Homo-oligomer: A and B are copies of this chain.
Amino acid sequence: MPIGYSFNTMTRKDDSEYIEMAITQAKKGNTPFGAVLVNTNGEFVEAYNTAKNDGPTAHAEINAIRKIDQLKFEKAQDLTLYSTVEPCPMCMTAIIWAGIGTVVYGATIEDAAEFGNQIDIKAKDIAKKSWYQLEVKEGVSRNKCTKLFTHEN
């Protein structure tokens, strides 16, 4: 799969635009879970949850991180991972092992827990245990992302 590019130029969009792309991914997979991994030029890879076919580890974020080598970057800390839903501890830890510097998400684990089992540990609490500084931004287009669970959008 080739690297995707932002539409106009090699400049970074706003957070909400990448979340919008993650929402598009989620819908493409017919799940609430989509993710986009972006470098400083605005180049990106994207993925959705494929657990139904690929087993329990195939969350959107894991699937995106598995494409990390398709992106150009000097250091992984310059990368931002956008996700429709707060990364679970599996995905958040994978983000740290990958060395990704910034995480932005829409719906929270608490939002997701209304629709199914969740492991109640906040992404920020995992980030605090990392050996490097991560930025974690919660609630970008939160309502729109939460609606993915009920196919309202």
Partner-B contacts on A (CB < 8 A): 51, 54-57, 62, 65-66, 68-69, 88-94, 96-99, 117, 119-121, 126, 129-131
Contact = CB atoms under 8 A, between A and B. Distances in A.
Q: Is the interface of A mostly helix, strand, loop or mixed?
A: helix
A31 to B, nearest CB: 14
A49 to B, nearest CB: 11
B90 A119 contact: no
A122 to B, nearest CB: 11
A126 B54 CA distance: 23
A56 B89 contact: no
A90 B129 CA distance: 13
Contacts of A131: 117
A66 B54 CA distance: 8
Nearest to A58: B66
Nearest to A116: B131
Given A65-B57, A121-B129, A93 B88 contact: yes
Contacts of A66: 54-55, 57
A66 B90 CA distance: 14
Given A55-B66, A119-B126, 10 more contacts: A56-B94, A56-B97, A56-B99, A57-B62, A57-B66, A57-B97, A88-B93, A88-B97, A89-B89, A89-B129
